[in-house]
Amino acid sequence: MKKVVIAVLVVLTMVFALNAVAENKISLEDAKKTALDYAGVKPENATFIKAHLDWDDGRSVYEIEFFDDSSKYEMDVDANTGSIDEFEKETFQRDFAAQKLTNDEAMQVALADAGLKPEDVRVKKSEMDEDDGRLVYEIEFYANGLEYEYSIDAQTCTITEKSIEKDS
> What pLDDT digit, counting tens, does each position of 133-164 carry?
788 899 999 999 999 999 998 888 889 999 99
Last residue of a domain, one of 79, 96, 113: 96
Residue 79 to residue 85: CA distance in whole angstroms: 10
Mean pLDDT in residue range 20-34:
79
Which of 96, 127, 146 is the last residue before a domain boundary? 96
Sign of CA dihedral 10, 63, 126, 132: negative
Same domain, 41 and 17: yes
Q: Are residues 43 and 11 in the same domain?
A: yes
Query: Do 86 and 16 belong together in one domain?
Result: yes
For residues 151 and 79, membership in a common domain is answered with no
Asked if pLDDT for residue 1 goes beyond 70, the answer is no
Q: For the chain, how many structural domains are there in total?
A: 2
- In this prediction the pTM is 0.51
Residue where a domain stops, chosen among 96, 113, 141:
96
Q: Is residue 20 pLDDT above 50, yes or no?
A: no
Q: What is the per-residue pLDDT across 48-84, written as a single tens digit (0 to 9) for each?
A: 878 888 888 888 999 998 888 778 899 999 999 999 9
Burial class (CB in 10 A: 0-12, 13-18, 19+), 147: middle
Question: What pLDDT score was predicted for residue 149?
Answer: 96
Which of helix, strand or coil describes residue 90? strand
Host domain of residue 64: 2-96
CATH of the domain at 122: 3.10.450.40
Same structural domain, 148 and 122: yes
> Does 14 share its domain with 84?
yes
Read off the pLDDT band of 40 (50, 70, 90).
very high
Do 88 and 115 lie in one domain? The reply is no
Same domain, residue pair 85 and 107: no
Integer CA distances (angstroms), 109 to 56, 127, 131, in order: 32, 14, 19
Nearest Cα to 135, choosing from 13, 20, 49?
49
**75 vs 8, more confident:** 75
Tens of pLDDT, residue by residue over 88-137, are 998 876 555 566 778 888 999 999 999 999 999 998 888 888 777 788 89
